[in-house]
Structure 1
Amino acid sequence: MRKVWAPIVNRRHIYEVTVPASALGELILAVHEAAGQSGGPSIRRWRYGNVVGISTPQVHDLALATVHLKHVIERRAIAAITVAVHSKIAVDVIFTLDNTVASAQFRCATIGPEPARGPEMALAESLATKTSAALDAHDIATEMSCGNASATD
């Protein structure tokens, strides 16, 4: 039998910021701060190519039922929001919790045929980086990672 190797397509990055479970509240506040919703610094300057964010994102609650329809979540999802900077550029932030860690997963919010949503991934990376920095500023140990998920997530 001959094996046929093909490139992996329809993969999207998932950015994740993980903290101890006891710091879940601070994690949620840091995500809102990163999105410029708490009076903190704005995320205005996220970039993708020659596109620069110039407005404060809108944050909307996202029902957990919708989360489970759009994404495959390994840990227990306890809350979710959507951070939108444009009708076609949005990131779902899913907060998960288990016995030892809490995390915020930053995932593309739109579902479409494109294998990668560049502007959305730039926004997700910016949100994750700024969330991690906000937590570090409050001396909360964080771990930021980037993994892959299928486009159907």
Structure 2
Amino acid sequence: MRCPFCAHENSQVKDSRPTEDGTAIRRRRQCEQCAARFTTFERIQLRDIVVVKSADRREAFDRNKLELSVSLACRKRDVSQEKITQLVSGIQRQIETSGENEVPSQRIGELVMDGLRQLDSVAYIRFASVYRDFSEARDFEEFASNVKDVGKR
């Protein structure tokens, strides 16, 4: 594993353990050259997924990008990082087990919306405002009026 600090090719694993949700292995590493420590995560990848975006553009599925989007929607909400990771892992699993190598970005957006609807109503509305491209306050009002509060997690 390449060191993120000095780009040296070799590092030594100091500690390995499964993540709390059991979907990855967390490894603490130390660079053999500069002795810096960093963490890596090893996850199962069933297949290479390509996301089909607007205007037929294609890009590789990026779990980190998905997790960042969900985290932004949940920012300053009472949603733990563990819940966010579980949601993202579930979405990734659904995508990978669908049997398709190409997934429309709209499908991923709908999966996120379904998950956030169950997790936190405010995060759901936040994500929807970007995903559905709300342009006026009345767009929020109309959408929010149809959202029922989610019970405590």
Q: Same fold (TM over 0.5)?
A: no
Indicate the structure (1 or 2) with the bigger Cα radius of gyration: 2
Identify the structure with bigger relative contact order (alpha carbons < 8 Å, sequence gap 6+): 1
Q: TM-score range by the shorter chain?
A: under 0.3
Greater helix content: 2
Relative to the length of structure 2, the TM-score reads 0.27
Relative to the length of structure 1, the TM-score reads 0.27
Greater strand content: 1
